Amino acid sequence: MGAGMVSYRPGRNGFATGGDMGREQTEVLFSEETIRVRVGELARQISSDYSRYGEILLVGILRGCYIFLADLSRRLTIPGRIDFVALSSYESGTAAERPVRLVMDLRTDIAGKHVLIVEDIVDTGATLDFLLPVLRRRKPASLKTCAFLRKPSRLLKELTVDYVGFDIPDVWVVGYGLDYMGRYRALSDIGIIATPPAAR
Ligand code: 5GP
Ligand code: MG
């Protein structure tokens, strides 16, 4: 592996290299430090915007959000609660033919609450386009969206994301919660995978 490549050292990246792990080469797109700085900026912005509301309810979309949500929530300076939904995503078929389904609902009644949806990455926008009306029907006091990454060139829907960490080109990214066939979620950096998934 040359400079700028991710090295899969045990400990630092959570899971040790073993078996066929680490065969797909990844190139670092955002380093741990770059991510840390940007998450801090997002947390400051969100804390300032929500300071007059009293309490925020972060709704994470599993599974990709888990690291971003953990980092973001710990750097907010406003009171808040956390809940999760799980949606079917790239399980089968291409983005166009794959209907989004709610596979795990919230436990919280969001009526009257200030809800911020936290997503790892907005790609075609199908996930948020599905979830927003579902949650809006439950009458939250406000409903906004935050995505750590967004691929503007892939967007199929007219969609406003209120808080975005970084806009990226049409590449498959892994690490910081994001996977490639279930792997690499625990990488500390965000990397571009050389062999993107076929089913898109
Ligand atoms: P959308 O519904 O916007 O097309 O896709 C959103 C979901 O697709 C994301 O929450 C994420 O789970 C998955 N996704 C899209 N692009 C990528 C990517 O580059 N890497 C990974 N690991 N997941 C992605
Ligand atoms: Mg996701």
The rounded distance, in Å, linking the Cα atoms of 46 and 108 is 21
- Give the model confidence (pLDDT) of 138-149 as tens digits: 999 999 999 999
The label of the residue with tokens 């911020």 reads: 116
Q: pLDDT tens digits for 32-50? A: 999 999 999 999 999 999 9
Question: How much is the average pLDDT of 97-125?
Answer: 94
Torsion angle (degrees, nearest 10) of CA 87, 82, 182, 178: 100
- What pLDDT, on the 0 to 100 scale, is given for residue 66? 98
Distance between CA atoms of residues 18 and 62, nearest Å? 26
Give me 66's structure tokens. Answer: 């888990």
Predicted confidence at residue 21, as pLDDT, reads: 52
Atom of ligand 1 nearest to the CA of 180: 22
Q: When comparing pLDDT for 68 and 181, which is higher?
A: 68
pLDDT for residue 198 = 64
Which are the contacts of 199, defined by CB distance < 8 A and separation ≥ 6? Answer: 90, 92, 93, 94
Average pLDDT on 57-81 reads 97
Relative to the alpha carbon of 190, which ligand is closest? Answer: 1
Give all strands of the β-sheet with 163-167 in edge-to-edge order. Answer: 102-104, 80-87, 56-62, 114-122, 142-150, 163-167
Provide the pLDDT for residue 194: 83
Give the helix ranges, DSSP H, for the chain: 32-50, 66-75, 126-136
Residue, of 25 and 4, whose pLDDT is higher = 25
**Ligand 1, CB within 6 Å, residue ranges:** 64, 89-90, 95, 119-127, 172-174, 178-179
